[in-house]
A and B are shown apart, each in its own frame.
Chain A
């Protein structure tokens, strides 16, 4: 149950000593792997072409995950790195320098297989200590990383309970007062390992047990308060302070730093410790990606929208004066409302309405056959052709799923073309279309894009524009929409046929809103699997 306002103020005024117990972890093998990956990342960014940028992003994501999650080093690190190919292939593709660092990273990853991830050891020890002293604790982590915390305890340890976890600012807001917060990784306001600023600016606990890899510094300005943004949230001075333009009275944090693992001095010359997140941030390519906010629609899917985008949405609240309107995420577009996507009939198809899974039925059926007959061979052929996705087998199974309002498929057109080529569907066969019509894979890809709400008409991206006529049409359908919204989280409404705009409006209930993504324009406003969205976490 959430702490009441009085309980929070009583706690803050109650003379608790607020401490950050920071455990910094050193590991020679991890340091080598990290150094190799970081150097490759920087060099790939210098190359700057699309392939190099994609590879750099994958490396950044891998390393960011290991720096913020206590994942086991049971070959996963090595396996993920090896997805980039053999050192020879890497050398041929990007040069000797990158190959050398790749080999360093691989050697580090190989060595890591022999040891337990020290971050796991630290978290386990901390949990055991807290339990021994009867302290109430919570772990702040991303929802998808929870299994790594569940798995780090021994079988004879009492398992972690759901109330031991916090995954969002909302859950933090609704939590009671407790003793210790456990956080793996640096304090960052968004992206990998992000946490609410309130952890520092409005604590519900007296001790922050922070487990970080050496070199990972907290984000400057973490603990942001709009009233006094320039105030150092880590200020050790307690009580009211008159900042430039505000009167601020907040708790003071006392830092205690301990070190864990190999002595830093031993390997300092080989692989100097650096702040990877700072490097990733400075070498970002903001021109190609945009800050994005995730709207979760259901258990496994979500849509990334540009931060501060005005989104065409439906408020099912009967008293709403503007039930269908453009709203801003997190401000006026709230959980419980519906995002509206349009699937309008396409000019390319001559106005003839197309079954939204016409092509997908064909290629998915072929894909299922391949998966049943020889899944390993399919994975090998896809990898050899350039689809180097992590967990490719699992991804392929996802592509096989029956379409709902979205067709599960590769997220880039390049990968889709490769897939269709390997499956051999649509080649040479006639589907009754004119000989000069685009290749089969392009028509199938168009269908996928439609299912993702990425309607393209006459070559113009239109989903930035709300058609006034569509707005009027939907107003006429309000009673039906409200009726459906009561019982369903996802529904579609066909637009009346006697209008110039034909098609369907798709409605998805907003389950949760999450900030902290950086994604290219092509990945925005399309329905994607949540696992696929993870790659765009900043």
Chain B
């Protein structure tokens, strides 16, 4: 595997890149104890993207890391919100703060099929929540998908939950070579997953994407930019998405799914927002900051860590188990007290 940043000549993957990918890969999955970590970098970097990549590769080997389980329930929740609240809402432009409805995002009520991705269907008022029947319609045609059949449907504007075939799936070798010796479950390559999330920079989604696009990995078969490898919906050339995106500026998640298990926050402001947000209070958060910031902003982050110390303790086991730290990186890891 070779590496290049900003179109500089190809080289072996440098230690700082290897360390950050490994850090994400080693992050404990499925732990019942909430952890919060802060990674301090000496300059602006795609560090958050690299940690996310490591965690993505870790999740490819986890049989439960997919959105298929509970997909029908997620569609039902969306349908209920659409039919009961968002559909009848009279506000000219959706604004949950003004409406005070308690939702974070509008339910548009549109679904698409992986078999016929071009057209969309609308959730029908023939849906019956009492007998757990969903229904959508296109013109006069009404469909009522089963629990299994619902896997072929996904909400408009979101990645498909599961592809029918391998076309559009993730190439296995591309990820296997980044973390050598990793085990990948083939089913996961054609399933989306929302338990891992990259929280973008407050300055905007494009900034996060640009910095990720600045670095590339090359193997014998392909040459891929980090933004493509992350499979974020709308960034990637593949259909499935194994990483959700949280826009820290608009405070919107790119999909209507339960809160992710792990959020990697790109930048100090993003870290402050995600680690304090009520909706993410069960999620692990890894913040990646650069030290080339104004003192007040650094202190705001320091204050956050000080506040955390009331409820969290240093995770010595994780700190001691980290691979060799490249010069210039500092890391703090806290876990919630029992």
Q: Does B332 contact A (CB under 8 A)?
A: yes
Verify if A135 is at the interface (C-beta below 8 Å from B).
no
- Which residues on B sit within 8 Å (CB–CB) of A4? 5-6, 8, 214
Are A173 and B44 in contact (CB-based, < 8 A)? yes
Of the residues B324, B328, B330, contact of A8 by C-beta under 8 Å: B328
Q: 7 A-B contacts, Cβ less than 8 Å apart?
A: A198-B292, A202-B328, A224-B302, A226-B298, A246-B330, A247-B330, A251-B327
Chain B residues closer than 8 Å to A317, beta-carbon distance: 204
Interface membership of chain B positions 304-334, coded 1 if the CB is closer than 8 angstroms to chain A and 0 otherwise: 1100010000100001001011111111101
Tell me if A169 is interfacial: C-beta within 8 Å of chain B: yes
With beta carbons under 8 angstroms apart, the residue of A239, A293, A515 that contacts B327 is: A239
- Interface residues of chain B, those whose CB is within 8 Å of chain A, are 5-6, 8, 11, 14-17, 38-47, 202-204, 214, 249-252, 269, 272, 289-302, 304-305, 309, 314, 319, 322, 324-332, 334
Total A-B pairs, Cβ < 8 A: 159
- Which of A114-122, A326-334, A447-455, A491-499 lines the interface with chain B? A326-334
**Chain A residue with minimal CB distance to B203?**
A334
Q: Which of A189-197, A374-382, A522-530 contacts B (4 or more CB under 8 A)?
A: A189-197
Which 8 residue pairs of A and B lie closest in terms of their CB atoms, listed nearest first? A202-B42, A226-B302, A227-B330, A173-B292, A249-B325, A246-B332, A226-B301, A5-B45
- CA–CA, A225 and B42, complex, Å: 10
Within 8 Å by CB of A248, from B249, B299, B330, lies B330
**A227 touching B204 by the CB < 8 A rule?**
no
Flag if A197 contacts B291 (CB, 8 Å).
yes
Smallest distance from the beta carbon of A224 to chain B beta carbons, Å? 5
How many angstroms from the CA of A245 to the CA of B308 in the assembled complex? 12
Considering only CB atoms, which chain B residue lies closest to A228 in the complex?
A: B330
State whether the Cβ of A470 lies closer than 8 Å to any Cβ in chain B. no
Q: Does A3 contact B (CB under 8 A)?
A: yes
Contacts A239-B327, A249-B326, A320-B250: A226 and B299 contacting too (C-beta < 8 A)?
Answer: yes
Taking each of A2, A201, A239, A242, which has the highest tally of chain B beta carbons within 10 Å of its own beta carbon?
A201
Most A CB contacts (10 A, CB to CB) among B272, B309, B328 go to: B328
What's the minimum C-beta distance from B67 to chain A, rounded to whole angstroms?
25
Shortest beta-carbon distance from B6 to chain A in Å: 5
Q: Which residue of B lies closest to A15 (CB)?
A: B327
* B331–A225 CB distance below 8 A: no
Are B324 and A240 interface neighbours, CB within 8 A? yes
Min CB distance A181 to B, Å, is 14
Residue numbers in B under 8 Å from A52 (CB-CB) = none
A contact residues around B5 at 8 Å (CB): 4-6
Cβ of A335 to closest chain B Cβ, rounded Å: 9
- A488 interface contact, C-beta 8 A: no
Q: Which of B41, B297, B319 contacts A247 (CB 8 A)?
A: B319
Q: Is A13 an interface position by the 8 A CB rule?
A: yes
Q: Which residues of A contact B304 (CB under 8 A)?
A: 226
Given A226-B301, A244-B314, A331-B269, A9:B291 Cβ within 8 A: no
Assess the B291–A12 pair: CB atoms within 8 A: no
Query: Taking the nearest CB of chain B, how far is it from the CB of A237, in angstroms?
Result: 12
- Given A173-B292, A330-B296, are A5 and B43 also a contact pair (CB < 8 Å)? yes
Chain A residues within an 8 Å CB radius of B16: 5-6, 9
Kindly report which residue of chain A lies nearest to residue B17, judged by CB atoms.
Answer: A6
Q: Closest CB of chain B to A58's CB: distance in Å? A: 26
Given contacts A6-B16, A226-B38, whether A190 and B295 have CB atoms under 8 Å apart is yes
Residue of B whose beta carbon sits closest to that of A8? B43
Q: Does A250 contact B (CB under 8 A)?
A: yes
Given contacts A189-B295, A196-B294, A226-B298, 19 further A-B contacts (CB under 8 A): A6-B14, A9-B326, A9-B327, A196-B292, A196-B293, A198-B292, A202-B42, A204-B43, A224-B298, A225-B40, A240-B325, A246-B332, A249-B327, A250-B330, A251-B328, A321-B251, A331-B269, A334-B202, A515-B294
Q: Give the nearest-CB partner of B328 in chain A.
A: A12
- Specify which of B17, B203, B292 lies most central, judged by the most chain A CB atoms within 10 Å of its CB: B292
Q: Which of B41, B46, B250, B289 lies in contact with A321, CB distance below 8 A?
A: B250
Q: What residues of chain B lie closer than 8 Å to A308, measured between beta carbons? A: 296
Which of B39, B202, B298, B332 is A197 in contact with, Cβ under 8 Å?
B298
Interface centre among B11, B43, B214, B332 (most CB of A within 10 A): B43
Which one of A196, A225, A513 has the highest number of Cβ atoms from chain B below 10 Å of its Cβ? A225
| A180 CB to nearest chain B CB (Å) | 18
Q: Which residues of B contact A190 (CB under 8 A)?
A: 295
CB pair A224–B295 under 8 Å, yes or no, is yes
Q: Considering the chains assembled together, what is the distance between the CA atoms of A32 and B324 in angstroms?
A: 53
* Closest chain B residue to A9, Cβ basis: B16
Q: Once the chains bind, are B291 and A225 in contact (CB under 8 Å)?
A: yes
B292 touches A319 (CB 8 A): no
B252: A residues at CB distance < 8 A: 321
User: Which residues of the other chain, A, contact B300 by a CB distance below 8 angstroms?
Assistant: 331
Complex alpha-carbon distance, A228 and B290, angstroms: 13
- Tell me, rounded to whole Å, the shortest Cβ–Cβ distance linking B248 to chain A: 9
Q: How far is the CB of A178 from chain B (nearest CB, A)?
A: 14
Query: A12 to chain B: which residues have CB within 8 Å?
Result: 42, 326-328
CA A61 to CA B311, docked complex, whole Å: 43
Docked-complex contact B43 and A173, CB < 8 angstroms:
yes
- Residue of B with least CB distance to A14: B327
In the complex, what's the smallest C-beta–C-beta distance from B183 to chain A, in angstroms? 28
- Complex interface: chain A residues within 8 A of B322 (CB): 247
Which residue on chain B has the smallest CB distance to residue A222? B295
What is the CB-to-nearest-CB distance from A156 to chain B, in angstroms, rounded to a whole number? 37
How far does the alpha carbon of A248 sit from the alpha carbon of B305 in the complex, in Å?
16
Name which residue of chain A comes closest to B318, CB basis: A247
How far apart are the CA atoms of A201 and B42 in the complex, in Å? Answer: 7
Whether the Cβ atoms of B15 and A9 lie closer than 8 Å is yes
Q: How far does the Cβ of A226 sit from chain B's closest Cβ, in whole Å?
A: 4
**Within 8 Å CB of B251, what residues of A?**
321
Residue of A nearest to B297 (CB): A330
* Contact partners of A246 in chain B: CB under 8 A: 319, 330-332
Cβ B301 vs Cβ A13 within 8 A: no
- Chain B's nearest CB lies how many Å from the CB of A143? 15
Measured between beta carbons, the chain A residues less than 8 angstroms from B41 are 5
Interface flags for A437-462 (1: CB within 8 Å of B; 0: not) read 00000000000000000000000000
Per the 8 Å Cβ criterion, residues 245-277 of A in contact with B are 245-251
Query: How far apart are the CA atoms of A197 and B40 in the complex, in Å?
Result: 13
Taken together as a complex, chains A and B put the C-alpha atoms of A10 and B40 apart, in Å, by 17
A229 contacts the other chain (CB 8 A):
yes
Contact A332:B43 (CB < 8 A) given known A9-B326, A172-B292, A240-B324: no
In the complex, the answer to whether B319 meets A13 with C-beta atoms within 8 Å is no
A307 an interface residue at 8 Å Cβ cutoff? yes
Chain A residues near B202 (CB, 8 Å)?
Answer: 331-332, 334
Contacts of B44 in A (CB 8 A): 2, 5, 173
**Residue of chain B at shortest CB distance from A331:** B269
Q: Do B293 and A169 have beta carbons less than 8 Å apart?
A: yes
A348 smallest CB distance to B (angstroms): 34
Complex CA distance for A246 and B309, rounded to whole angstroms:
13
A2 CB contacts on chain B under 8 angstroms: 44
B202, chain A: closest CB distance, angstroms: 6
Q: Give every chain A residue within 8 A of B250 (Cβ-Cβ).
A: 319-322
Given A6-B8, A12-B42, answer yes or no on A332-B330 (Cβ-Cβ < 8 Å): no
Q: Are B325 and A247 in contact (CB under 8 A)?
A: yes
Query: Once bound together, how far apart are the Cα atoms of A267 and B290, in whole Å?
Result: 45
Q: Is the CB–CB distance between B330 and A224 below 8 Å?
A: no
Q: Which residues of B contact A247 (CB under 8 A)?
A: 319, 322, 325, 330-332
In this complex, what residue of A is CB-closest to B269? A331
**How near does chain B come to A144, taking the closest CB pair, in angstroms?**
18
